[in-house]
Amino acid sequence: MTPQRVSLITLGVVDVDRSRAYYRAIGWREHPRSVEGTTFFQMHGSVLALYGLNDLAADLGRPATALGTGAITLAQNFETEAEVDAAVDRAVAAGGREVKRPQLVNWGGYVGFVADPDGHVWEYAVNPFWPLSADGALILPEVE
């Protein structure tokens, strides 16, 4: 049986120190397992890693210049619009680039996008149709 999971999301970053400073500034706390050149953040059953772009390129056997960003987004969902606004403001204050100011979108959500220092796009959102679990997990609602 194929597990439907992502254990680890790895972001290739030009400057691990710069990137770590950014994620710290938006309030994330790195895990003590972090090592020189790689920073880990424990998430909800999975882990986010910051890793040197050149190291990632070497691992993949590709030139670093061939590694783009953008066609993938990482969404962090919240309960309220105010939380989304605060998250976007925090990210911009930390040096993120606002891609889209939070706004109501046609499917009924409230969504903003901010790119981190390497262009990795984070979506900050409220989805009123998908309430988060008490522990913060996103479990899709049953179909009636």
Q: Are 49 and 38 in contact (CB under 8 A)?
A: yes
Q: Does 80 engage in binding with a second copy (CB under 8 A)?
A: no
Which one among 16, 39, 41, 84 touches a second copy, defined by CB under 8 A? Answer: 41
* Minimum CB–partner distance for residue 60 and a second copy (Å): 6
Whether residue 98 contacts residue 114, with contact meaning beta carbons closer than 8 Å, is answered with: yes
26 is written with which tokens?
Answer: 């938006």
Pairing of β 8-13 and β 47-52: parallel
CB closer to a second copy out of 27 and 128: 27
By CB under 8 A, residue 16 contacts a second copy:
no
| Backbone angle region of 119, left / alpha / beta, with phi > 0 → left and psi within -120 to 50 → alpha | left
Beta strand 38-42 with 8-13: parallel, antiparallel or unpaired?
Answer: unpaired
Q: Which of 8, 21, 82, 104 binds a second copy (CB under 8 A)?
A: 8
Check residue 37 for interaction with a second copy (CB under 8 A).
no
Interface residues with a second copy (CB under 8 A) are 1-12, 26-29, 31-33, 40-48, 53, 56, 59-62, 66-78, 87, 90, 99-100, 105, 111, 113, 118-121, 123, 125, 132-133, 135-141, 143
